[in-house]
Amino acid sequence: MHEALIQYINAHATTPLTETEADIVKNIFTPRRIRKRQYFLQEGDVCRYMGFIVRGAMRQYSVDDKGTEHIVRLYIENWWAGDRESFAMLTPSNYNIDAWEDTDLLTITKASMVEFNSIPALNELARNLDERHAIASIKRINASISLPAEQRYAALAEAYPEFLQRFPQHIIASYLGVTKETLSRVRNQALRK
């Protein structure tokens, strides 16, 4: 499992890991398997781990007072899962993260981040991930407040077509902030084009 992470790091850093650094990565990341519907994190708990998904799919969501789920993130292979705020601040999470498919992860604790940060390739990776995360978040917020459902769906289909194959319609609808009926109409219109 660690080989997938090492390949990912080397693909996203200008300086590849040395053998010694790769051994450190293997020591600080712990393999974990989560079955479909099992929680990685529950609302109210502190996020003690960040996870790199080797195989599987997960979702991050909140539940409102009426019991409605609101999907804020979807994760698949080669994505990092966790509540960044809870992990960084050691505060209770407002979110649930569960496996939508049986999922294999490599997890890291906050304490192990000290070793993580001592490796140049991992520091570079972390900076790149932070930048990409910030850009993606701003784009998603802008789309949510300014684009009609059709354009949000088209943007998702273009950027992450695998989401449409891996997650059911009700999850995609929640992620886009639309009803299942609206998503069905939008998908039908997109197919006719």
Quote the pLDDT of residue 113. 83
Q: Which is more confidently placed, 123 or 97?
A: 97
CA distance 120 to 71: 34
Residue 177 contacts residue 168 (beta carbons within 8 Å): no
Return mean pLDDT, the chain. 93
Q: How confident is the model at residue 15 (pLDDT cuts 50, 70, 90)?
A: confident
CA distance 125 to 85: 19
**Whether the predicted pLDDT of 148 surpasses 90:** yes
Quote the pLDDT of residue 115. 78
User: Residue 68 has which token pair?
Assistant: 């409605």
**Whether the predicted pLDDT of 173 surpasses 80:** yes
Mean pLDDT of 22-27: 94
Which amino acid, 79?
W
Quote the pLDDT of residue 121. 87
The DSSP letter of residue 79 is -
Domain boundaries, the chain: 2-145, 147-193
CA distance 179 to 96: 21
- Dihedrals φ, ψ of 90, to 5°? 55, 40
Q: Output helix, strand, coil percentages for the chain, rounded to the nearest 5.
A: 50, 20, 25
Residue 133 makes CB contacts below 8 A (sequence gap 6+) with: 84
As to burial, measured by CB atoms within 10 angstroms (0-12 exposed, 13-18 middle, 19+ buried), residue 127 is: exposed
Domain 2-145's class? Answer: mainly beta
CA distance 142 to 138: 6
Q: Is 11 left (phi over 0), alpha (psi -120 to 50) or beta?
A: alpha
Q: How confident is the model at residue 123 (pLDDT cuts 50, 70, 90)?
A: confident
What predicted TM-score, i.e. pTM, was given to this entire model?
0.90
174 HSE (CA, 13 A, CB side): 18
Q: Is 78 left (phi over 0), alpha (psi -120 to 50) or beta?
A: left
**Whether the predicted pLDDT of 104 surpasses 90:** yes
Predicted confidence (pLDDT) per residue in 39-78, tens digit: 999 999 999 999 999 999 999 999 999 999 999 999 999 9
